Amino acid sequence: DEDAREVQGARGGARGGSSPSASARGRAAGMFNVALSALDLRGGAHDAARDLVLVRMPEAGVKPDVVSYSLAIAACVHAGGDADDLIAAARRAAGADRRSNAKKPKRAKKKKKGKGGDVDDAEGKNVRTLWEDEHLAVVSKPAGMLTHPNEASGGATRTLVEDLLDAFGDEGLSAINGADARGIVHRLDKPTSGAMLIAKTDLAHAMCVAAWYQRKVTKTYLALVEGVPGRRRGRRRGDDGDAMEGTCVAPADGRPARSDWRVVETFGEEDEDDATQLCSLVEVTPRTGRRHQIRQHM
């Protein structure tokens, strides 16, 4: 493929080659991940998946990411094989053995209720454990809390990861997504509250990431929107001409996006002078996972 050849041809830039573009590297990694997913879904191709992620991708100058390793691990597990070497490689790539460097502001108070218990943060918000077993946990993320540290936050605000570390400890969370994002399989935007699936082991993390990639996971959100839609249910696409403007911080990346929605309930009374008195509670099921997708579609 042209992207893979560009990446491979640019290796050894000191010998006169140029560096591959970030977009070319991303597209090449994406194509390898598609192939890894196909090998997993095919079944019985775990040796090919292992070879692809441990040998072929590095040979092509493409760095496997957490999705690559997760798909290869899933292929091995589904075929009844052993994935310990892939998990070890994923941990090395993620720097899993270092402790999280997340800055922890002083907290006004701290409360634990045993393993995986409730934890209050400095702002008085509460991260509750809704369910857990030896592999996974489901926690409630409050609105206004970052999922994990990022460059923009500068460590100034407390994150869900920090509360998870308080509740479960370094060794009680998966680390193949990196030391500063332990346990994080997926994310919710800072303004969004909701249930989040947390991985307690690296194997569970990999299986969840593979399921997410292969669209085996159904996610449902409730959104309170201004006004009343013209119909009770529908589907929004990324190229809808009537998409609301000014609702997203990040620019659209041009990738396909699709959300199904239905009106659950409407509130307020219609006023000819002030249409904003009406609002609706809408159930949204995103069929793709793009940044700020629901806010843009709604």
Q: d(Cα 236, Cα 186) in Å, to the nearest integer?
A: 22
225 close to 297: Cβ distance less than 8 angstroms: no
Q: d(Cα 7, Cα 2) in Å, to the nearest integer?
A: 9
Token representation of residue 206: 């990999």
Q: Count each helix (H run) and each strand (E run) in the chain, helices first.
A: 9, 8
Antiparallel, parallel or unpaired: β 119-120 and 136-141: unpaired
Q: d(Cα 102, Cα 155) in Å, to the nearest integer?
A: 7
Determine the 3-state secondary structure of 24 from DSSP. Answer: helix
Helix or strand run (H / E) with residue 199: strand 194-199
Helices (H), 52-197: 57-59, 66-78, 84-94, 160-168
Q: What is the DSSP letter of 244?
A: P
Beta strands in 19-149 (DSSP E): 119-120, 126-132, 136-141
Q: Which amino acid is at 128?
A: R
Residues labelled catalytic? 189
CA quadruple 93, 99, 101, 103: dihedral, nearest 10: 150
Query: Strand pairing partners for 281?
Result: 224, 265
